[in-house]
Amino acid sequence: MGDPGPPAATRPGPDEIALAAPAAGQLCSSQEHRRAGRPAQVVVTLGQMGAADRHREALWLEAWGKPYPMYGPCWDATRQVAQARRPSLAITAPPAPRAGNQPPRGRAARPGTPGRAGQAL
């Protein structure tokens, strides 16, 4: 499957989730969205969500410490589950977004084309 990403500079602690800006061209890591070419809007790295020997309470055991690029709504869903299951959850955002590396806006709407509005089908 390839390299999970750059060497983890951010190592979130227990019940901590670190966020980072995605690189250009990174896609959401869910299979469905990757196939659909959904761009990632945030890179999510999970700390230890519980104890490894208590699977019932631990969340996403196999994902700890790996950076996961996610589409916005996917991150929202992930965060909601994490917050519900890990009440002491802390989310650390990136220090500052770099200029020129903004995530693409969610809007697909185009401004109306000026001029020939009278042309009906």
Q: Which residues form the interface with Zn ion (CB under 5 A)?
A: 28, 30, 33, 71, 74
- 31 versus 88: smaller Cβ distance to Zn ion: 31
Rounded least distance, CB 113 to Zn ion, Å: 32
Closest by CA position to 103, among listed 29, 42, 34, 33: 42
Tell me the C-alpha distance between 16 and 47, whole Å: 5
CB of 34 to Zn ion, least distance (A): 8
Residue 26 vs 71, nearer CB to Zn ion: 71
Lookup: tokens for 116: 């020939």
Nearest distance, CB of residue 68 and Zn ion, angstroms? 10
